[in-house]
Copies of this chain bind each other. A is one copy, B any other.
Amino acid sequence: MSFSLEEYQDRLRKTKVSMEQLGIDVLLITNPANMNYLSGYDGWSFYVDQMLIVVADEEEPIWIGRKMDANAASATTWLKPEHIQFYPEDHIHSTERHPMDYIGSVLKRLRQAERRIGIEMSSYYFSALAYVKLQANLPDAKFVDASLLVNWVRIVKSELEIEYIRRAARIAGLGMESAVSAIQEGVRECDAAAAIFKSLVSGTDSYGGDYPSIVPLLPAGKNTSTPHLTWTDRRYSGSEIVIIELAGCHQRYHAPMARTISIGKPADEVINVSNILVEGLNAALESVKPGVMLEEVEHAWRQVISKHGIVKESRLGYSIGIGYPPDWGEHTASIRKEDRTVLRPNMAFHMIPGLWFDEYGIEISETFRVTENGCEVLTDFHRGLIVKDQFDIAM
């Protein structure tokens, strides 16, 4: 297991405090990051229905999944064998039976079918169909949306969690080194992506890399105007810009980082915008300390870019930590206008000042944690536009 039993139990205790505040008796957790956070469960099995059930007045959660994954629950969680249960195989992709039928029967057996039940309405792995089936199975339950209940418990990290993010940040740096070294005229995008993956998954000599929740994003040329394109087998030209957004991952903890590379001499506009972006990024990072609200951090950034006549609608960043595909964000606090979340030590964020225009875009980002009196940037790579031919100098 990645953490001590005490740490898991402390997380469970905090979760139950939130449940009590919201009047929730039973919490049905389907977000794999939340399942991992509370039980340690880790397996690529979230493509079928699975769940962790936390009952307010029961000591230990119950894991329910597919039979073939129950051994994975035994291998990765701290749960007693009788707290690992599975639904019959004929419930998989069936038009007649649904895993929520089984889960409904478990809740009835536990005499929890008429209580206030928290569900994660916006979890990727709790489908609309699962919701309808669960309702049909538990007509006397009172359902409450508890989508982000555990996510909010996760927002302040323990020392060991920060250590894992720190390791992930070191791995992110290795991935970025591979990217900068691979990307040049004549190289195929897929070969650059392959080099990045190799670094991210191998990790360092001391600790390995895990799979990041999002694959490296590699828009190039005009496509840098949009952030979420992956790669093709096209070859890079001698004159284009390439955005690389990636994350190192260790024990499912992420440290994302983005950089922009210019192959060949960049246009003056690209240099100027990159400099403005870094100026804004620095100002925002300098504003970080306990007690500050996230909207104030965004304001520090916006003041800089407004001065240069640039407007950015999308948020400047978001809380990060444990992640499973398709996202490494925690979906709680965002660095944006009107987010009045107050910073506390050991919160961790990806600050990503991406600017996308019609013909190109720039991204230069950092992962940081809030310290006792400021901000520690965990990612470590040249903070600026990387001009490939001048790389040795620019570094």
Contacts and interface: CB of A to CB of B under 8 A. Distances in A.
Interface string A179-197: 0000000001111011101
Given A69-B226, A190-B202, A326-B47, A129 B124 contact: no
A104 interface: no
A85 interface: no
A326 B207 contact: no
A233 B171 CA distance: 14
Interface in A328-350: 331, 334
A67 B145 contact: no
Contacts of A72: 223, 226, 228-229
A70 interface: yes
A44 interface: yes
A118 interface: no
B194 A209 contact: yes
A331 B93 contact: yes
Nearest to A203: B190
A283 interface: no
A306 interface: no
Interface string A35-78: 00000001111110000000000000000000111111001100
A199 to B, nearest CB: 8
Given A129-B122, A129-B145, A203-B233, A68 B227 contact: yes
A89 B313 CA distance: 7
12 contacts: A42-B230, A43-B229, A68-B227, A68-B228, A70-B226, A72-B226, A72-B229, A92-B314, A126-B127, A126-B128, A197-B201, A211-B215
Interface of A: 42-47, 67-72, 75-76, 88-89, 92-93, 119, 121-132, 145, 147, 188-191, 193-195, 197-203, 207-211, 214-215, 217, 222-223, 225-233, 313-315, 318, 325-327, 331, 334, 354, 356
